[in-house]
Amino acid sequence: MKHHSAQREYWRSLAHLADTPAVRAAAEKEFASYEPEEMLAMPGLTRRRFMKLMSASMALAGMTLTGCRRWPQEKLAPYTSNPPNRTSGVPEQYATVMEINGVGSPLLVTSFDGRPIKIEGNPSHPYSQTVANRAGASDAIAQASILEIYDPDRSRAVINRAGATQVASDWDRLSNWMSATIDSLTTNQGQGLAILGESTSSLTTARLKAAVVKRFPKAAFFEYEPLSRDNEIAGAKLALGRPARQVAHLNKAMVLALLDADPLGTHPAHVHYAFEWASNRPNARRQMSRVYAIESAMTISGSVADCRLGVRPSRIGAILSALAARLGAGGMDVTLAPEEEAFIKHLLSDIADNRGKSLVLVGPQHGPALHALALAINEKIGAIGSTLTFVEEPDGDRASHFDSIADLTNKLKARQIDTLVILGGNPAYDSPADLDFASAMKSAATSIHLSLYDNETSHAALWHVPRAHFLEAWGDCRAWDGTVSICQPLIEPLYGGKTPDQVLAFLAEEPETQSDAIVRKTFAEMDDAAWRRALNEGLIANSGFKEVSGQVSFHAAELYPAVQGYEVRFLQDSKLYDGRFATSGWLQEIPDPLSKIVWDNAALISKKDADSLGVGIGDVLQITVGNSSVKIAAFVLPGQPAGVIGLALGYGRTLGEHIGSDVGVNTYALRSSGAMFFAPAQVSKTGDYYELATTQDHHLIDQLGIEMRQKEIGEKYKSAEVIHEMTFEEWKKVKGAPERTVPLQLYEPPQDEFSGAHAWGMSIDLSKCIGCHACVAACQAENNIPIVGKDQVLKNRQMHWIRIDRYFKGEADDPNPEVVFQPVACQHCENAPCEQVCPVGATVHDTEGLNVMVYNRCVGTRYCSNNCPYKVRRFNYLDWHSQDPRHDKYPKPYLNLPDQQQLETVPKVKQMMFNPEVTVRMRGVMEKCTFCIQRIHNTTISKRAQSEKLNDGDIMTACQQACPTQAIVFGDLRDGKSKVSRSHNDPRAYGLLDEALATQPRNKYLAKVSNPVEA
């Protein structure tokens, strides 16, 4: 710096003024307070050391600071080179098939990064497609298979139980043992070898069975299914002279008479039947079918029937005989009770008006004679060839399932079996109680059980072998009509499990050991191109069973003796099937459609019986059939026929792993040969009380509540607020688009409020919803929704984003009340009450009309849930994903700290199940239906990227896709031609509570149209 010694006027200090050389030197220093050279000259401090120290301190800061962060550390490792044919992060879909009771449900499975995460129906397969080649429906059980494959309780290792000790074994030891066994069996041509399997239509299994028989001519095959449909086959055999399978065509039936039949709920082809049934409710030509249901239980089909009568099981035979006689199909007429007479009078006149368009179906729990009688009736009314056709029944001449298991048990008790191989199933749990199969099994010198879980039968066997889940294995099976589908895996077997085919191949000493080779060999005559096409589409074209035709001959039905007193009716559980899905938490928590019970079964009784027994909901009854009795809580179910106690099968398992053990009461204990579907029973009150968890109407609703509910479900169209309904006659007259409610607002809404390119909306047709809960399961799978367990459902904290409300209409003791199902999910109100009250603005509206929930902003005041009139918002009261849902069985306080839980406490295998496109919510956060915003954005973004137009049906919400009747329609309201726009302009359309509250929901309901007989 220059200094002007003479001209300086202002100075900073005396030293500065003095301007000595020392001062000048000091002023010229770059760093006033220290000498850099001095510092660097410090002993040991080289530049390198300096860098080391600096980086170490930064690392230290990094360590401690990351400790302060709330987010758990996750490691991301992108591929350096992509695996071929796959872009990571882009999901792929593969067709496969799931077999239950020998019938395949065609599926399309979404795979994300090499693991399956979501199941849909196969849109190309006639038995699951709802929109050809675009949408395929499924059911709750198929949706829950995703949970099953990733169930941490699945068996992972071979187990050997010699005597009382249990030893985890391995594949080598097993195969050595099996080889030794096979050698000894070969010497005596398989004498003493028995193979018990589940019902299967697999061509591969049939081929391998033949191969085993060739190798071991004296080996015996047995087949058992607890919910057998053999009565139908035997009935067809009686009527046609040969076993056959009945294929109904409900889309052609304008009059449908269901005599204890449940085609929409428990039939193996129920997804397809529901779709066909819905097409006439009403159809495009403004016609509507009329469904009559006479049943000994409260089923889904009966609930949506236009006319329903609840009767004792023994009456079905009488009613069928009367029908047959009066229609001229043969036999003697029978006098019926007055209400039965009144009922079939209308049925007869409707059938008379609808020749060739009527159909009579009988449920599989009734004997072959009744089925034959129904077929005779069907022939008389012109159903055969139009609404009902026959196809071959594969292996139709085999022994019936019940005979087969009885035969096997006898042979076991007679010590004629040395080696028992059980492929799947759980006969120790679900075989007829009088057989005592579990102890009979012990008579076999060696037994192997191939199973997904180490269950009751595995514990009674010598060897337990883990089975490969259908999503991780090759196989094949046939749909109800026989169309062959190949089951292809989405992932390698997680625990190295084997398929039944592999076991049979091993026994038959086939050269192929891998399941893909085994299946390919069955279809060796298909060339590779055809094979790949079959895999791609999920079916082999034109592979259905051959049609069978024949003259139906009449057989008189023996009438069951009338049962005085109570009788029990064993029911297929709507979620657990025969008990094999008791290990699935999702299925346990999905409510039964009619009773809404979760995590339990109950004795379903009518109000009349409840009053005479002096019991209410939860009072424990003792039910005795023959020499066995069980204690089970009662549930008063409106519509349950008087004198009949409904008992769902599949509960009370002792070895159902963590989820399925000690849930409900084992009603198989009452089920004996000869009375596998109904049985006379003694019922008495025990005086105990057992709390049943239901998702609706928990605690008896008092009279006041019942009255209020009646007001909500009105008699006439537009008089109620919750359910609108009308008769078919009224519907034909109704015209005009519904009015739009306009709420009074204090403020002008912003101009750009709904200015988005799309306006998403949904409609739900109450005429078509059958209450099957496929949508609930699909939503749970798609959106990573947790289960909460029975004790939390008792507090009504279940997390389902969509629920199906079930309302009964009529007096409390009405024996045949009307039932309405109403799926309720977020209505995405344009004038949303939830948005106005959130103090932090965690729920807002986007320009496309979606009410958007921002999880990371939510502090959890729950005001939005309070203000929502539909109560669709679900709050994470606890960390559900980390909590043990069996708190009722294993209570324990739970004190883990927030934020770290899910990654560390959810088992790694279960984490594979989560859909990576949907946030997994932590506790304290509100959540609700988002109209599957991840699907919306995926599709709109990819369409925009391709510059393609978005068409109606390109985006499907999970619930819409799963629904077999297509009751749920979703789409763009801006597109005037979209299905949803047409629904919204339908005169039947109304917004739930919209008139009262002017919430302007984007989800409209179409009033239920029923077709009752004019009185």
Partner 1 sequence: MASVPTTEFARIAAGIEADNTTDDPRFRAPLVTGNKDFAAVTATVAGVAERPAPPKAWYVAMGVSLSLLGLLGAMIGYLFLTGVGVWGNNQPVGWGFGIVNFVFWVGIGHAGTLISAILYLFRQNWRTGINRMAEAMTIFAVCCAGLFPGIHVGRPWLAYWLFPIPNQMTLWPQFRSPLLWDVFAVGTYATVSLLFWYVGMIPDIATFRDRSKNRIKQVVYGLLALGWNGSSRHWHRYERAYLMLAALATPLVLSVHSVVSFDFAVSQIPGWHTTVFPPYFVAGAIFGGFAMVICLAVPARALFGLKDIITMRHMDNMAKITLATSMMVGYAYMTEFFVAAYSGNSHEAFTFHNRALGPYCWSWCMMTFCNVVAPQLLWSKKVRTNMLLLWIVAMFGNAGMWFERFEIIITSLTRDFLPSSWHAFWPTWVDLCTLAGSFGLFMTLFLLFCRYLPTVAIAEIKTVMPQAHAHAHELHGEDAKRTDYRPDEHMDPDRDAPRLKNR
Q: For residues 657 and 136, what is the distance between their CA atoms, to the nearest angstrom?
A: 32
Nearest to 579 by CA among 501, 645, 503, 668: 668
Tokens of 293: 């249901």
Binders of partner 1 in range 493-522 (CB under 8 A): none
The single residue among 509, 611, 712, 995 that binds partner 1, judged by CB under 8 A, is: 712
Q: For residues 963 and 362, what is the distance between their CA atoms, to the nearest angstrom?
A: 25
Quick check: 812 binds partner 1 (CB under 8 A)? no
The single residue among 113, 392, 395, 697 that binds partner 1, judged by CB under 8 A, is: 697
Residue (94 or 690) nearer to partner 1, CB: 690
Q: For residues 467 and 228, what is the distance between their CA atoms, to the nearest angstrom?
A: 23
Quick check: 836 binds partner 1 (CB under 8 A)? yes
Q: Judge contact between 570 and 676, C-beta under 8 A.
A: yes
Q: Judge contact between 693 and 591, C-beta under 8 A.
A: no
Quick check: 702 binds partner 1 (CB under 8 A)? yes
Q: How far is the CB of 639 from partner 1 (least distance, A)?
A: 17
The single residue among 57, 66, 513, 796 that binds partner 1, judged by CB under 8 A, is: 796
Quick check: 54 binds partner 1 (CB under 8 A)? no
Q: How far is the CB of 1014 from partner 1 (least distance, A)?
A: 29
Residue (304 or 557) nearer to partner 1, CB: 304
Quick check: 858 binds partner 1 (CB under 8 A)? yes
Q: How far is the CB of 914 from partner 1 (least distance, A)?
A: 20
Q: For residues 409 and 402, what is the distance between their CA atoms, to the nearest angstrom?
A: 11
Tokens of 984: 């919204």
Q: How far is the CB of 791 from partner 1 (least distance, A)?
A: 11
Residue (610 or 799) nearer to partner 1, CB: 799
Stretch that binds partner 1, among 126-134, 684-692, 854-862, 1002-1010 (CB under 8 A): 854-862
Quick check: 176 binds partner 1 (CB under 8 A)? no
Q: For residues 318 and 323, what is the distance between their CA atoms, to the nearest angstrom?
A: 9
- Is the preceding omega at residue 72 within 30 degrees of 0, hence cis? no
Neighbouring-strand partners of residue 761: 971
3-state secondary structure 640-655: CCCCEEEEECCCCCCC
Stretch that binds partner 1, among 226-234, 601-609, 768-776, 918-926 (CB under 8 A): 918-926
Stretch that binds partner 1, among 263-271, 515-523, 625-633, 798-806 (CB under 8 A): 798-806
Q: How far is the CB of 590 from partner 1 (least distance, A)?
A: 16
Residue (301 or 882) nearer to partner 1, CB: 882
Quick check: 693 binds partner 1 (CB under 8 A)? no
Residue (332 or 840) nearer to partner 1, CB: 840
DSSP strand pairing (989-991 vs 968-972): unpaired
Quick check: 698 binds partner 1 (CB under 8 A)? yes
Binders of partner 1 in range 862-901 (CB under 8 A): 862-863, 865-867, 869-871, 873-879, 893-898
Quick check: 721 binds partner 1 (CB under 8 A)? yes
The single residue among 414, 708, 737, 941 that binds partner 1, judged by CB under 8 A, is: 708
Q: How far is the CB of 688 from partner 1 (least distance, A)?
A: 21
How many Cβ atoms from other residues are within 10 Å of residue 226's Cβ?
Answer: 27
Residue type, 353: D
Q: How many helices (H) and strands (E) does the chain have?
A: 36, 41
Q: For residues 576 and 592, what is the distance between their CA atoms, to the nearest angstrom?
A: 10
Q: How far is the CB of 709 from partner 1 (least distance, A)?
A: 4
The single residue among 807, 914, 970, 990 that binds partner 1, judged by CB under 8 A, is: 807
Residue (498 or 874) nearer to partner 1, CB: 874
Binders of partner 1 in range 919-958 (CB under 8 A): 923-926
Stretch that binds partner 1, among 59-67, 344-352, 354-362, 855-863 (CB under 8 A): 855-863
Quick check: 848 binds partner 1 (CB under 8 A)? no
Stretch that binds partner 1, among 442-450, 587-595, 626-634, 793-801 (CB under 8 A): 793-801
Contacts of residue 603, defined as CB under 8 A and 6 or more positions apart, other chains included, come to 621, 623, 632, 633, 634, 635, 645, 646, 647, 683
Q: Under DSSP, is residue 707 helix (H, G, I), strand (E, B) or coil?
A: helix
Tokens of 751: 């101009």
The single residue among 859, 916, 942, 948 that binds partner 1, judged by CB under 8 A, is: 859
The single residue among 465, 505, 644, 838 that binds partner 1, judged by CB under 8 A, is: 838
The single residue among 556, 701, 852, 903 that binds partner 1, judged by CB under 8 A, is: 701
Stretch that binds partner 1, among 395-403, 547-555, 660-668, 861-869 (CB under 8 A): 861-869
Q: Site map for partner 1, 748-787, x if CB under 8 A?
A: ----------------------------------------
Q: Judge contact between 836 and 869, C-beta under 8 A.
A: no
- CA dist 443 to 161, 220, 417, Å? 14, 16, 8
Q: For residues 243 and 236, what is the distance between their CA atoms, to the nearest angstrom?
A: 6
Residue (400 or 784) nearer to partner 1, CB: 784
Stretch that binds partner 1, among 229-237, 486-494, 584-592, 708-716 (CB under 8 A): 708-716
Nearest to 360 by CA among 298, 370, 574, 1011: 370
Q: How far is the CB of 895 from partner 1 (least distance, A)?
A: 5
Q: How far is the CB of 865 from partner 1 (least distance, A)?
A: 4
Q: Under DSSP, is residue 447 helix (H, G, I), strand (E, B) or coil?
A: strand
Contacts of residue 395, defined as CB under 8 A and 6 or more positions apart, other chains included, come to 206
How many residues form the binding site for partner 1 (CB under 8 A)? Answer: 66
Q: Judge contact between 539 and 105, C-beta under 8 A.
A: no
CA Rg, the chain, in Å?
33
Quick check: 861 binds partner 1 (CB under 8 A)? yes
Residue (521 or 797) nearer to partner 1, CB: 797
Stretch that binds partner 1, among 167-175, 565-573, 641-649, 833-841 (CB under 8 A): 833-841
Quick check: 736 binds partner 1 (CB under 8 A)? no
Burial annotation 470-493 (CB, 10 A radius, 16+ → b, else e): bbbbbbbbbbbbbbbbbbbbbbeb
Q: For residues 573 and 581, what is the distance between their CA atoms, to the nearest angstrom?
A: 10
Q: For residues 199 and 425, what is the distance between their CA atoms, to the nearest angstrom?
A: 9
Nearest to 288 by CA among 727, 697, 906, 634: 727
Stretch that binds partner 1, among 41-49, 416-424, 427-435, 790-798 (CB under 8 A): 790-798
Binders of partner 1 in range 983-1002 (CB under 8 A): 992-993, 996-997
- Give the position of tokens 């302009």: 985
- CA dist 390 to 246, 335, 387, 551, 612, Å? 5, 32, 10, 11, 46
Contacts of residue 670, defined as CB under 8 A and 6 or more positions apart, other chains included, come to 433, 568, 570, 623, 625, 626, 628, 629, 630, 647, 679, 681
Q: Judge contact between 199 and 401, C-beta under 8 A.
A: yes
Neighbouring-strand partners of residue 952: none
Residue (709 or 974) nearer to partner 1, CB: 709
Q: How far is the CB of 805 from partner 1 (least distance, A)?
A: 4
Quick check: 837 binds partner 1 (CB under 8 A)? yes
Quick check: 699 binds partner 1 (CB under 8 A)? yes
Residue (435 or 998) nearer to partner 1, CB: 998
* Contacting positions for partner 1 (CB under 8 A): 696-699, 701-702, 704-705, 708-709, 711-712, 721-722, 792, 795-798, 803, 805-807, 822, 824, 833, 836-841, 857-863, 865-867, 869-871, 873-879, 893-898, 923-926, 992-993, 996-997
